[in-house]
């Protein structure tokens, strides 16, 4: 039987329903209220862009960023007071080379995708710093060569990850721990006999973005496993273990971090013998890690409670012991479900590292504040300085958020 419909008469949808115009009509002007809200938002955004760009381009004096730029990165690490002779400049540069080498190895394992883009971007940005328009007295050829070498170390790391036994996730994890310890050793320095080749540098002279990143990396790396252990301990049937974990979590969550940092100078040393080395960096790292782990424990516990009890019941029916059920079935699903909360905690931890000023450490924000306070000629450029600091923090936090979204998409978080 022939069809009564003529397919040649089917017309395409109207242009107002497709493409950019259709999207705008459906999402921005679907109702009178949405249309009014869109108009107000566009007016406010236009106003902010016009006056903001006018200030950025014509009124702002960004020379302060170039003048104080090195202090924003490493603080007073390479000053005469911290390192007599100014021969410690290569240590932060060598640490950066270790980072690009590690990223190259990760790229060699992942082959493509997000890891490749992050690795290439990091190495290219680091190498471009070698082209800053500074005089040779301020940035010598040795510094420029070390910065440009990040491209070579990226390629070397890619080759190691692709063609050697280091090309595995486990090897990269172990290498990351080794490189981080090596970075701390390089930055601290030590004496071998009478040699000053690696002369010690007191942590009081560490500062800038380097200090923020070291504390953030240590806190993020350690707070996750500690938080998992605390969450499991809080769910334990052993009364003593449960009470200890609950007390730890509630006490740490009930006290502001800035108070704990201030008290760390007197409380943390009590947990170590007198012969143990004490410094502000160690105290801050311990307090930030423990504080973050308390919040991390609640995130993990929430993920565990969200699982259907049938998961554990099915595992027990298959004969799996309790610890295998938790480690192989419940915990991976719980962590997967709370990835947004975990990354949010990591972002908060990174920003909280700026509170170490309370114990006398010059993080990136404190470098800007002390520069303005100690040098009256820079007081008129405070806005430019803090806008630059805010942009730097936003770049790192947005990067963490972007990576989190990609991980969630790959793992299918929120999908059935």
Distance CA 113, CA 369 (A): 39
Q: Which residues are paired to 347 by β-bridges? A: none
* pLDDT tens per residue, range 295-310: 999 999 999 998 888 8
Q: Which residues are paired to 271 by β-bridges? A: none
Confidence of residue 266 (pLDDT cuts 50, 70, 90): confident
Confidence of residue 22 (pLDDT cuts 50, 70, 90): confident
Q: Could you tell me the domains of the chain?
A: 84-201 (no CATH), 202-416 (1.10.3720.10)
Residue 12 has what pLDDT? Answer: 73
Q: Tell me which residue of 155, 130, 157 sits closest to 145, measured CA to CA.
A: 130
* 253, 227 contact by CB (below 8 A): no
Per DSSP, helices labelled H in 164-207 are: 169-188
* 281, 361 contact by CB (below 8 A): yes
Cα dihedral 34→35→36→42 (10° resolution): 100
**Could you tell me what percent of the chain has a pLDDT over 90?**
40
Confidence of residue 194 (pLDDT cuts 50, 70, 90): low
Distance CA 106, CA 243 (A): 41
Per DSSP, helices labelled H in 75-207 are: 90-110, 114-128, 141-148, 150-163, 169-188
Confidence of residue 5 (pLDDT cuts 50, 70, 90): low
Q: Tell me which residue of 207, 205, 257, 187 sits closest to 364, measured CA to CA.
A: 207
Among 62-76, 124-138, 332-346, the range of highest mean pLDDT: 332-346
Higher pLDDT, 100 or 325: 100
Residue 4 has what pLDDT? Answer: 59
Residue 202 has what pLDDT? Answer: 87
> 192: which residues sit within 8 A by CB, 6+ positions away?
198
Higher pLDDT, 401 or 192: 401
Confidence of residue 181 (pLDDT cuts 50, 70, 90): very high
- Which H helix or E strand runs over 363? strand 362-363
Its pTM stands at 0.87
Among 68-77, 182-191, 213-222, the range of highest mean pLDDT: 213-222
Per the structure block, which two tokens stand in for 202?
A: 């007191």
| Average pLDDT score over residue span 323-348 | 90
């Amino acid at each position: 039987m022939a069809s009564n419909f003529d397919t040649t008469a089917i017309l395409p949808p109207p242009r107002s329903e497709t493409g950019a115009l259709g999207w705008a009509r459906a999402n921005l002007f679907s109702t009178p209220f949405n249309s009014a809200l869109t108009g107000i938002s566009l007016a406010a955004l236009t106003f902010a862009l016009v006056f903001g760009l006018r200030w950025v381009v014509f009124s702002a004096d960004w020379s302060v960023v170039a003048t104080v730029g090195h202090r924003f990165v490493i603080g007073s690490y390479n000053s005469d007071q911290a390192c007599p002779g100014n021969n410690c400049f290569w240590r932060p540069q060598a640490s950066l080379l270790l980072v690009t080498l590690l990223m190259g190895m990760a790229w060699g394992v992942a082959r493509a995708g997000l890891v490749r883009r992050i690795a290439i971007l990091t190495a290219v940005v680091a190498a471009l710093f070698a082209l800053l328009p500074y005089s040779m007295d301020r940035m010598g050829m040795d510094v420029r060569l070390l910065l440009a070498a990040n491209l070579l170390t990226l390629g070397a790391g890619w080759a190691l990850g692709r063609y050697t036994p280091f090309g595995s996730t486990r090897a990269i994890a172990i290498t990351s721990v080794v490189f981080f310890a090596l970075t701390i050793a390089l930055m601290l320095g030590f004496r071998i006999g009478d040699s000053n080749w690696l002369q010690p540098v007191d942590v009081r002279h560490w500062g800038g973005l380097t200090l923020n990143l070291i504390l953030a990396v240590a806190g993020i790396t350690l707070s996750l496993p500690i938080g998992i252990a605390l969450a499991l301990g809080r769910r334990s049937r052993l009364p003593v273990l449960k009470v200890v974990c609950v007390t730890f979590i509630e006490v740490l969550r009930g006290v502001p971090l800035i108070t704990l940092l201030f008290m760390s100078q007197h409380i943390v040393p009590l947990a170590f013998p007198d012969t143990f080395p004490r410094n502000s960096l160690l105290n801050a790292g311990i307090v930030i890690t423990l504080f973050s782990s308390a919040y991390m424990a609640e995130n993990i516990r929430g993920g565990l409670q969200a699982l259907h009890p049938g998961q554990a019941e099915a595992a027990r029916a298959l004969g799996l012991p309790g610890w295998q059920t938790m480690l192989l079935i419940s915990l991976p699903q719980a962590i997967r479900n709370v990835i947004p909360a975990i990354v949010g905690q990591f972002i908060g931890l990174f920003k909280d590292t700026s509170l170490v000023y309370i114990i006398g450490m010059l993080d990136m924000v404190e470098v800007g504040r002390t520069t303005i306070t100690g040098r009256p000629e820079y007081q008129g450029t405070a806005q430019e300085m803090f806008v630059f600091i805010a942009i730097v923090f936003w770049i790192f936090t947005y990067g963490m958020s972007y990576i989190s979204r990609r991980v969630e998409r790959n793992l299918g978080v929120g999908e059935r």
